[in-house]
Amino acid sequence: MTATAATLEAVPEPTPARSVPSAAHHPAPAGYDRIVFTGFMGSGKSTVGALLADRLGWTFLDLDTEIERRCGLTVPQIFAQLGEAHFRRQETAALASVLGRSRIVIALGGGAPEELGNRLLLEQTPATAVVFLTAPFATLYDRCQVQAATPGATERPVLADRQKAEARFAARLKHYERIADSTLDTTALSPEATVEAVLRAFSQS
């Protein structure tokens, strides 16, 4: 794996593996040790990633959650107190670390592919498949609004300005497409149906 990442302070031990049910698992995709989900907020990366990990008997990790664990702050707090540049450095370091694991499903933050260091890590790490979950912006925005109304939902300041959020989506689209090995439109798919579509895509590759 070759990419530059900032040198950071000592961090706690990596997040332990998620406990996986003992039922028979779906065969792992041939040739892959890591599956990474990318896409804009509302695309279902974390939900689908966790379901897929359970199906495969792999570990699931949400990269934003891992960054929060390392920093001891929520993502909005990191942005507010330390700035976006600090968050992006932490993001690249966390991604480099988790890509060193095998049999893992990773959900990226929506902005991760904008960073060249992150794209290089994903492109240069062997046996790693990147799946881009997409849908029209209006669908993604509506999903986020529903999620935001849920008690305990993660704060998403970008949702306050729909026009800016749509511009951000448009700017990120080319990066999602560049790093993707597979793209799935989730507009009419439930999380469970999306998992089945991912498994079918790998079985046909």
Which stretches of the chain score pLDDT less than 70?
1-24, 152-155, 205
Q: Is 102 flagged in the annotation as binding?
A: no
pLDDT given at position 29: 85
Q: Say which CATH number the domain at 67 has.
A: 3.40.50.300
Q: Is 42 flagged in the annotation as binding?
A: yes
Q: Which domain holds residue 190?
A: 34-204
**Which residues have CB under 8 Å from 98's CB, separation 6+?**
14, 61, 63, 66, 104, 106
Task: Flag whether 22 is in a domain.
Answer: no
What does the pLDDT look like over 107-159, one tens digit per residue?
Answer: 999 999 999 999 999 999 999 999 999 999 999 999 998 887 777 666 677 77
Task: Flag whether 148 is in a domain.
Answer: yes
Q: Is 97 flagged in the annotation as binding?
A: no
Task: Flag whether 12 is in a domain.
Answer: no
pLDDT given at position 24: 63
Q: Is 43 flagged in the annotation as binding?
A: yes
DSSP annotation string for 137-195: HHHHHHHHHHHHTSTTPPP-GGGG-HHHHHHHHHHHHHHHHHH-SEEEE-TT--HHHHH
Cα torsion angle, 185, 170, 154, 63, sign? positive
pLDDT given at position 203: 85
> Is 64 exposed, middle or buried, given 0-12, 13-18 or 19+ CB atoms closer than 10 A?
buried
Q: Is 89 flagged in the annotation as binding?
A: no
Contacts of the segment 150-154: beta carbons below 8 A, 24+ positions apart: 154/74, 154/75, 154/76
Task: Flag whether 11 is in a domain.
Answer: no
Task: Flag whether 80 is in a domain.
Answer: yes
Task: Flag whether 105 is in a domain.
Answer: yes
Task: Flag whether 25 is in a domain.
Answer: no
Q: How many domains does the chain have?
A: 1
CA dist., res. 189 & res. 127, Å (int):
27
What predicted TM-score, i.e. pTM, was given to this entire model? 0.85
Q: Is 46 flagged in the annotation as binding?
A: yes
Task: Flag whether 3 is in a domain.
Answer: no
**Which residues have CB under 8 Å from 140's CB, separation 6+?**
40, 41, 42, 43, 169
Q: Is 110 flagged in the annotation as binding?
A: yes
Please give the share of the chain, as a percent, with pLDDT higher than 70: 85
Q: Is 117 flagged in the annotation as binding?
A: no
Q: Is 18 flagged in the annotation as binding?
A: no
pLDDT given at position 62: 98
CA dist., res. 163 & res. 156, Å (int):
14
pLDDT given at position 182: 96
